[in-house]
Structure 1
Amino acid sequence: MSIELTSLTAMVALLAIVAVLRPAMLFEYPVAASVLIWSFILPQAWRIEASGDLNDFEPTLAWGYMILCISCTAIGYWAGRVRTPTTSHNSLEQLSQRYDLNKLFYGAVALTIVGGSGVFLMYRMAATLKVGEAWTGPIAFYAFVAQLLIYGASLAWLLYLYTGDKKALIVSILGFCVNLPAVLFAARRELTFIIVVVFLLGLFFVKKKSVSRLILVPMVLAGGIFINNAGTIRSFIVNNDASLIGAIAANADQDTAAKEFSEVGSGVSDIAISQWTEQYDLLTPYYNGLINLYIPAFIVGPDFKKQLKVKRDDYEQSKYESFSRGGATHTGFADSFQSLHYFGCLIFLVIAYFMGILWSKARSGDIKSQLYYMMLISVCLKVFTESTSVFFSILPLMFLSMGGVFWYARQRKPSGQHVSTLAEMHRPLRDAHR
């Protein structure tokens, strides 16, 4: 292995081993990212160097940039945590002084219903699509709205942990059950990760309970197999009418050395070509990402939407034949480098800084930060495997939907003059929290 890849491997290993030594830190952003990189990114990088197939693209350029990005992630997260020290307040009484818990519950129900409607319409339209047909038009909009289902179910789960209210538990269970077919029969790795994270982080933030090592190690190993082989697993389920567990077990025995390095290979070639041509997109991918998500072509028309986008000038880059595989992402390392050259690492620093602030506030009992962190951690991990633009694209939806619920539920009377009915119904639980 090259010095650059050896250094990258050592850096990631040092961060990943923290999850084993201190399981409570598993879902802190740099640690979770290092576990993902170890399971998904590094195996592809090792195969690239072992095969030598991409030596023309100077992969050491990519390894050096990855080291810079991961360093910025760790530094940014630490700076965010230092800026926002964690306090010990995390009680039902504190929560009820800030928010009307009944209104928070109604907000969770509303998000779940709207998101569930999106899921229903998405599945109904998906049944009419032909095999291989692209998800464009209304179905893409329904998939976008369907994300609200997870937001509502997660908020309901937090409310149940704080209050013990069975209605909140029922809403949460129903919300997650709607998504189970996508987990069991479509092997959706992001959705699977979100459900696990919401359950475990909710317990950690509210009840201060973390995963034991006996559960953590097998969970991470199974997750690594699942992440690396989601496409193969999905095909196995469809072709053999199998379950998710059966597909994972069957796939675990396959030779991983024969697998491709689609995502990292695409990223390596993109970084090299950008370096050679010295052509950079600046903020174009981030602007176009917002247009893609929030301007539905089936309403405004595809021509108008196309006019809103900034066209990328790739004349110089088109002179080079890049490494690309259909359906594979190009990693966030690539799109950040294509945008800002080596300064693209600052994007990782900004994202990590924001997550560090959220983590400290979440540990201090801020339910809004707890919900934001649980919903953003999976998006922030996609920053490494897909693109950095996905993080900035999803923020408006999260702030408008969940932020709207918290704005609606905030206590408008001076603190101490009003306690919501839901909190009164669970006064013994509140006293137990003190």
Structure 2
Amino acid sequence: MAWLGVVLLLFTSIAMLVSGLWRRGGFFDFPFLAAAMFLTFVLPQIPGLIDDRFMPQNSALSGAIFFSWLCLVMCSVGWQLGKHAKLGPDLVFSEKRLLYYAAGLSLVGAYFFYRFGQLADEERLRGFLTGTAVAYLFFAKMLTYGLAIALLCYAHRRSSLALCIILFGLAFYFDRIVIAGRRSEAAELALMIALAIWFHRGWAVPRFLVSLSLVFAMAGLVSAGEYRAATYYNGAPDWRAVLEINPVENWRKLLKQGGPEFRNLVFSISSISENQAYDFGVSHWNSLVFVYVPAQLVGTKVKESLYVDTPAVYSKDYDPAPGTTPTGMMDSFASFSYFGCLKFALLAGVLSWIYSCAMQGNTSMQILYMLSAMPAMLVITHFTNEIVIAWVHMAVFLMPGLLYAGMRPAHGRPENPNDYGLGRGTARSVV
């Protein structure tokens, strides 16, 4: 039964990938991104668990596979439903003001990236960051926002200021990608660049490059840990050790032993089903409190009082491996059992509406989708509230800039002849 579920999940993932590749620009759709995550992250972890004698002796494994398939299908269902929503309001933005704000965001974000890099190794390199490290990364994200705005403005019209902001941001991304070996930052940067060009130039990444990126993603899945150990965790990069990484052998081990994240999912589904203990979405509130209520300011007792008790997702005799993630399928099942897959439909529907607005030239929605693509993928690998946490952060740091740069031009053109406007009608219409 488990192998049948693997085949079903595999063919559904491939079908959604082929559909995205078949349509021009279809690989920017969330269903394609979701299928890519299931194919490169979820599926490889399953085969080694099927014959594992330490797995729960019930239908939890088959249930976890089937529920993962439901979540993937809901990504496509929600995306199709979201296309029928009405387009939201739009403003025309001053390009100059947007770039000034982007420059400020980039400088502040760069400062906190620098401060994060100056932390002691025990604070900066631990698997689960807390305290000062979390605070620095919270504000360092502004660098990404500045880079996204600059990329969009440069795709619309070449300018020296936009180019300087882009080059400044790329220097920091180089460190995060090449030295720290962060896969999420690499994917985020690639998506932001490709989407900015797609929205304003109508140019789509060649299909063979997209296919090649999936191969690199699969290699990175099993080699990222060794890469970081060689380039980041030992002080100075050891490039000889990087060359000695054997992705083929790592893949063999993963397929034989199974992956820790899907193991977590199976054990959680087993425990939750046995106890019928669901949190009905309260975990989302707890995660927002954890991220956005600073204990350093309000005190630990006040912060802890804001949490709502939720049932345990694991039995007492199971401890997840350090550094592993729970996956969005786990918290979805923990909330509403199999109906939890509707979380993915809701997310896909909202993203579909944002993307539809962006394709009509809505600048604010273009920025939002560029910055939402990566958190939406983390919904699968980490937690479904990743996207909500990201949107709250964007609202705090982007809304002031958008209000500052918003204009009400006469006849669709900015009042200042030396300025340029971005908004509905300024992007190319792409079908």
Question: Do the structures match in fold with TM over 0.5?
Answer: yes
Give the structure 1 partner of residue 355 of structure 2: 359
Contact kept, 8 Å, 2:271 with 2:315, in 1: the verdict is no
Contact kept, 8 Å, 2:108 with 2:142, in 1: the verdict is yes
Give the structure 2 partner of residue 283 of structure 1: 281
Give the structure 2 partner of residue 89 of structure 1: none
Name the CA distance, whole Å, in 2 between partners of 1:343 and 1:360: 27
1:14-93 equivalence runs, <5 A: 14-22=15-23, 24-51=25-52, 53-56=54-57, 58-84=60-86
Give the structure 2 partner of residue 254 of structure 1: 249
Match of 2:368 among 364, 372, 377: 372
Could you say what secondary structure the match of 2:119 adopts? helix
Match of 1:385 among 381, 387, 410: 381
* Per-residue Cα deviation, 1:12-47 (whole angstroms, up to 9, x for no partner): 121122344346211210011101110110010122
Counterpart check, 1:10 vs 2:11: yes
188 and 383 in structure 1: CA distance in 2 versus 1, 3 angstrom threshold: same
Give the structure 2 partner of residue 149 of structure 1: 143
Contact kept, 8 Å, 1:69 with 1:345, in 2: the verdict is yes
Match of 2:158 among 161, 164, 168: 164
Which amino acid in 2 is paired with 1:217? S
Which amino acid in 1 is paired with 2:78? G
Name the CA distance, whole Å, in 2 between partners of 1:36 and 1:19: 14
Give the structure 2 partner of residue 298 of structure 1: 296
Name the CA distance, whole Å, in 2 between partners of 1:60 and 1:234: 34
395 and 214 in structure 1: CA distance in 2 versus 1, 3 angstrom threshold: closer
The Cα shift of 1:128 comes to 7.1
Could you say what secondary structure the match of 1:164 adopts? coil
Normalized against structure 2, the TM-score is what?
0.89
Gap regions ≥5 residues in structure 2: none
Which amino acid in 2 is paired with 1:258? K
Which amino acid in 1 is paired with 2:109? G
Match of 1:121 among 115, 122, 131: 115
Counterpart check, 1:218 vs 2:177: no
The Cα shift of 1:262 comes to 0.5
285 and 102 in structure 1: CA distance in 2 versus 1, 3 angstrom threshold: same
Could you say what secondary structure the match of 1:114 adopts? helix
Task: Tell which deviates more after alignment, 203-212 or 10-19.
Answer: 10-19
* Per-residue Cα deviation, 1:374-399 (whole angstroms, up to 9, x for no partner): 11111011111111121112211112
Task: Tell which deviates more after alignment, 45-54 or 300-309.
Answer: 45-54
The Cα shift of 1:179 comes to 2.5
Which amino acid in 1 is paired with 2:230? F
RMSD: 2.9
Name the CA distance, whole Å, in 2 between partners of 1:264 and 1:155: 36
39 and 424 in structure 1: CA distance in 2 versus 1, 3 angstrom threshold: closer
Moved over 6 A (4+): 430-433
Give the structure 2 partner of residue 271 of structure 1: 269
Could you say what secondary structure the match of 1:65 adopts? helix
| Structure richer in helix, relative to its length | 1
Contact kept, 8 Å, 2:271 with 2:314, in 1: the verdict is no
Contact kept, 8 Å, 1:23 with 1:212, in 2: the verdict is no
Task: Tell which deviates more after alignment, 405-414 or 367-376.
Answer: 405-414
Contact kept, 8 Å, 2:119 with 2:133, in 1: the verdict is yes
1:183-222 equivalence runs, <5 A: 183-222=177-216
Name the CA distance, whole Å, in 2 between partners of 1:138 and 1:76: 38
* Per-residue Cα deviation, 1:326-368 (whole angstroms, up to 9, x for no partner): 1100110001111122221111111100110111111111121
The Cα shift of 1:432 comes to 11
* Per-residue Cα deviation, 1:269-311 (whole angstroms, up to 9, x for no partner): 1112111100011222111111111111222222221222123
Name the CA distance, whole Å, in 2 between partners of 1:275 and 1:425: 55
Counterpart check, 1:108 vs 2:109: no
Could you say what secondary structure the match of 2:277 adopts? coil
The Cα shift of 1:49 comes to 1.7
Contact kept, 8 Å, 1:358 with 1:369, in 2: the verdict is yes
Which amino acid in 2 is paired with 1:80? G
Contact kept, 8 Å, 2:74 with 2:345, in 1: the verdict is yes
Could you say what secondary structure the match of 1:253 adopts? helix
Give the structure 2 partner of residue 337 of structure 1: 333
Contact kept, 8 Å, 2:327 with 2:383, in 1: the verdict is yes
Which amino acid in 1 is paired with 2:268? D
Match of 2:391 among 391, 395, 415: 395
Give the structure 2 partner of residue 325 of structure 1: 321
Could you say what secondary structure the match of 2:205 adopts? coil
Name the CA distance, whole Å, in 1 between partners of 2:53 and 2:147: 47
395 and 213 in structure 1: CA distance in 2 versus 1, 3 angstrom threshold: closer
Report the identity percentage.
22
65 and 285 in structure 1: CA distance in 2 versus 1, 3 angstrom threshold: same
133 and 21 in structure 1: CA distance in 2 versus 1, 3 angstrom threshold: closer
Name the CA distance, whole Å, in 2 between partners of 1:16 and 1:247: 30
* Per-residue Cα deviation, 1:223-276 (whole angstroms, up to 9, x for no partner): 2211343223212334583459x8378332324131341111101111121111
Name the CA distance, whole Å, in 2 between partners of 1:243 and 1:22: 39
Name the CA distance, whole Å, in 1 between partners of 2:53 and 2:128: 34
Contact kept, 8 Å, 2:20 with 2:29, in 1: the verdict is no
Which amino acid in 2 is paired with 1:18? S
Contact kept, 8 Å, 1:163 with 1:422, in 2: the verdict is no
Could you say what secondary structure the match of 1:325 adopts? coil
20 and 53 in structure 1: CA distance in 2 versus 1, 3 angstrom threshold: farther
Normalized against structure 1, the TM-score is what?
0.88
Contact kept, 8 Å, 1:269 with 1:323, in 2: the verdict is no
Name the CA distance, whole Å, in 2 between partners of 1:417 and 1:320: 64
56 and 108 in structure 1: CA distance in 2 versus 1, 3 angstrom threshold: same
Name the CA distance, whole Å, in 1 between partners of 2:66 and 2:293: 37
Contact kept, 8 Å, 2:95 with 2:420, in 1: the verdict is no
Name the CA distance, whole Å, in 2 between partners of 1:243 and 1:306: 44
Which amino acid in 2 is paired with 1:65? F
Name the CA distance, whole Å, in 1 between partners of 2:245 and 2:183: 17
Name the CA distance, whole Å, in 2 between partners of 1:41 and 1:152: 32
227 and 151 in structure 1: CA distance in 2 versus 1, 3 angstrom threshold: farther
Task: Tell which deviates more after alignment, 209-218 or 37-46.
Answer: 209-218
